[in-house]
């Protein structure tokens, strides 16, 4: 049996895949990529003769059967997934059947769309004395949320929220934030296809107008919603600075100045 590697392809730009992920693609005998979300440009590193298949029309059983079959004849099989395999993917659902079939697995992390969206907009997800917590979540849809994890409950922390897979439920996001005490003028960032060359869109607004702005841009899929008290800090006249770079702060690499 060969080994199946779950590789995070990153948010969209094929150059944002990790070096390890790229090298595994270059040495793969078979690659199954999520074509609805992963750029086919990532296949440019695949060797000649590599078996390449798109999983966008496959059910879970078909995906696992394909991976098991390819692992019987190839030393390296790559399951190429969007973002990071550990976030909102079917990692455990797929690895369980592979474990049962005796197929070894490995995971290579990838850049999440949450980080790519913040990078695209030149925003920080954490800021000293403003917010030091980031919650990665989604709104309940066909997949319900566990007890205590509704967006309204999480939003009561008033920290940074990165809301995945929820752009079609943006009105619900707005209502949940309002119910949690967020002001109507609270800044909201929506990034569509973060890092995708030529396709990325950045929409800035507030709870009052973000839905209309997204409608105007026809944003209905593949978008990250970020709500954070740190949004827009780049343009604030004053900031609480990090102690790490404070000249009056001593740490093990530098003594404080007088």
Q: Name the residue with higher pLDDT: 107 or 243.
A: 107
Output the pTM of the full model.
0.92
Q: Flag whether pLDDT at 252 surpasses 80.
A: no
Say what the pLDDT of residue 47 is: 96
Mean pLDDT of 236-258: 74
Q: So what's the pLDDT on residue 243?
A: 67
Of 39 and 145, the one with more pLDDT? 145
Position of tokens 């026809």?
218
Give percent above pLDDT 70 in the chain. 95
Beta-carbon contacts of residue 198 (< 8 Å; ≥ 6 apart): none
Domains and CATH numbers, the chain: 3-108 (3.40.1010.10), 113-235 (3.30.950.10)
C-alpha 15/C-alpha 240 separation (Å) is 34
SS3 call for 82: coil
Q: What is the side-by-side order of every strand in the sheet holding 201-206?
A: 134-138, 160-164, 223-227, 187-192, 201-206
Arithmetic mean of pLDDT, 140-152: 92
pLDDT class for 258, splitting at 50, 70, 90? low
Q: Are 110 and 83 in contact (CB under 8 A)?
A: yes
Instruction: State the average pLDDT for the chain.
Output: 94
Beta carbons within 8 Å of 66's beta carbon, 6+ residues apart: 32, 53, 55, 58
């Amino acid at each position: 049996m060969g080994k199946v590697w779950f590789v995070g392809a990153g948010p969209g730009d094929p150059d944002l895949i990790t070096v390890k992920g790229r090298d595994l693609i270059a040495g793969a005998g078979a690659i199954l990529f999520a074509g609805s979300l992963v750029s086919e440009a990532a296949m440019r590193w695949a060797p000649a003769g590599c078996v390449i298949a798109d999983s966008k029309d496959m059910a879970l059983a078909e995906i696992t059967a394909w991976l098991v079959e390819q692992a019987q004849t190839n030393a390296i099989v790559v399951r190429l997934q969007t973002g990071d395999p550990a976030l909102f993917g079917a990692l455990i659902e797929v690895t369980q059947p592979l474990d049962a079939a005796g197929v070894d697995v490995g995971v290579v992390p990838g850049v999440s769309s949450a980080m790519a969206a913040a990078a695209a907009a030149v925003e920080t997800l954490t800021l000293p004395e403003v917010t030091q917590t980031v919650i990665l979540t989604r709104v309940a849809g066909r997949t319900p949320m566990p007890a205590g994890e509704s967006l309204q409950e999480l939003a009561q922390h008033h920290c940074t929220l990165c809301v995945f897979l929820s752009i079609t439920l943006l009105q619900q996001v707005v209502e949940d934030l309002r119910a949690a005490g967020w002001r109507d003028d609270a800044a909201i960032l929506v990034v569509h296809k973060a890092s995708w060359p030529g396709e990325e869109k950045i929409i800035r607004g507030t709870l009052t107008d973000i839905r209309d702005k997204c409608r105007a841009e026809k944003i209905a899929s593949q978008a990250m919603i970020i709500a954070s008290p740190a949004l827009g800090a780049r343009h604030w006249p004053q900031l609480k600075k990090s102690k790490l770079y404070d000249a009056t702060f001593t740490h093990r690499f530098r003594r404080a100045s007088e």
